[in-house]
Amino acid sequence: MKYHSLNYNSNKVSFLDAVRKGLAPDRGLYFPENIPKLSEKFIQNISSYSNHEIAFEVIHPFVGNEISKNKLREIIVDTLIFDFPIVPINDKIATLELFHGPTLAFKDVGARFMARCLNYANEIKSNKNLTILVATSGDTGGAVADGFYKVEGINVVILYPKGKVSAIQEKQLTTLGENITALEVDGTFDDCQDMVKSAFIDSELINEIELTSANSINIARWLSQMFYYFIAYKNRPNPEEKLVISVPSGNFGNICAGLVAQQMGLPIDHLIASTNINDTVPNYLNSGTYSPKKSKSTISNAMDVGDPSNFIRIQKIFDNDLFKIKKVLSGYHYSDSQTKKAMKEIYKISSYIPDPHGAIGYLGLKEFLKSTDESYYGIFFETAHPIKFADIVESTLKTTIEVPNRLKSILERTNNSIPIKTYQQLKSYLRER
């Protein structure tokens, strides 16, 4: 499998080269030259496969012979070290919990898979040190920090917006040390993302330092998120009904991976992009006009993205045909007050404690189910453990969340971040490092 740039002004590269580069030289996102089809036999018998076997069958066509089958299986086993339980909310709706990994966020899968692929690429292709530059609106930073912690030959620099991530999220990205550095940006997530993009097109900088990205623009982070969808389909509570999945969406890598899974033959009938008031994509689906905007802060901060990088990949999947996109993808957006109301509703009907992102996924699913006369079973993704948003969850639901053991030691650590305001400060730091 080869990968080409969506700016169409760079040569095609292999899987490992695309992982190592992150972005193409023309600053475009990499995209596979084709989306392979899985056999109907595999789909029909998916319940007989383990999660590790499913992940291998799904990702191997995209990796090809770049990584041996045995090594790829080893990477997958080391990536999927936790469960993905489905919890019923009512007779038509359930949630898939994606937060049972080391940092209690869905991004643990992509970060762990990418770290292991990149470590392998480093071993066989280059001895040169690599700097991973990543912007985070919340969970990406912690997952990347954990996934790459103490990986030899790789330094990680994480940019996060000051005052706009939760206290636990900040602890996860600022307290590890070693090869992990956190830069606290006086601005929004979009400002962080703009700085990262500026670094990648700064010829002076990239001539001195080999940079790559661990955001979901990286194909290893992006494509491995397909695993969730196959696992959800395998374990769905009501196999007789058509399946619809609602995804809390920020930078749109997760739901884009779901659309790739669908293109590969996974029988997901429909997908829902559920957002907060950062509603660029829902507005596009309604109007046909894509108008990025400055991101706004919400209680679902990991989705505070006004110009989602991965949406161009969704447009590519469907040849930029809005009619084709709308056949399989709906988009809805919700305010903080609606999010809190949904959290209370979920808790009341099922005693289930959602985080704000999952609550938005629930709202999108409910709205879609109300809009159709067809019979569906719906699953919304719970992308982060509610403890990561304890203040808002506990005050909204008037309950107390028990702190998981794996977080207790993190909460005792001291934050260690470097404040910056401008791209020039970022560039100076990278050059000095």
Residues classed as catalytic: 107
433: which residues sit within 8 A by CB, 6+ positions away? 131, 155, 157, 181
The CA distance from 173 to 176, in Å, is 7
- The answer to whether 1 and 33 have CB atoms below 8 angstroms apart is yes
Parallel, antiparallel, or unpaired for β 211-213 and 130-135?
parallel
Position 243, amino acid: L
Closest-CA residue to 172 (of 420, 405, 415, 385): 415
Distance CA(311)–CA(321), nearest Å, equals 13
Q: Pairing relation of β-strands 93-97 and 86-88? A: antiparallel
SS (H, E, C) the chain: CCEEECCCCCCCECHHHHHHHCECCCCCEEEECCCCCCCHHHHHCHHHCCHHHHHHHHHHHHHHHHCCHHHHHHHHHHHCCCCCCEEECCCCEEEEECCCCCCCECHHHHHHHHHHHHHHHHHHHCCCCEEEEEECCCHHHHHHHHHHCCCCCEEEEEEEECCCCCHHHHHHHHCCCCCEEEEEECCCHHHHHHHHHHHHCCHHHHHHCCEEECCCCCHHHHHCCHHHHHHHHHCCCCCCCEEEEEEECCCCHHHHHHHHHHHCCCCCCEEEEEECCCCHHHHHHHHCCCCCCCCCCCCCHHHCCCCCCCHHHHHHHCCCCHHHHHHHEEEEECCHHHHHHHHHHHHHHHCCCCCHHHHHHHHHHHHHHHHCCCCEEEEEEECECHHHHHHHHHHHHCCCCCCCHHHHHHHCCCCCEEEECCHHHHHHHHHHC
Q: What is the dihedral of CA 229, 231, 233, 239, to 10 degrees?
A: -160
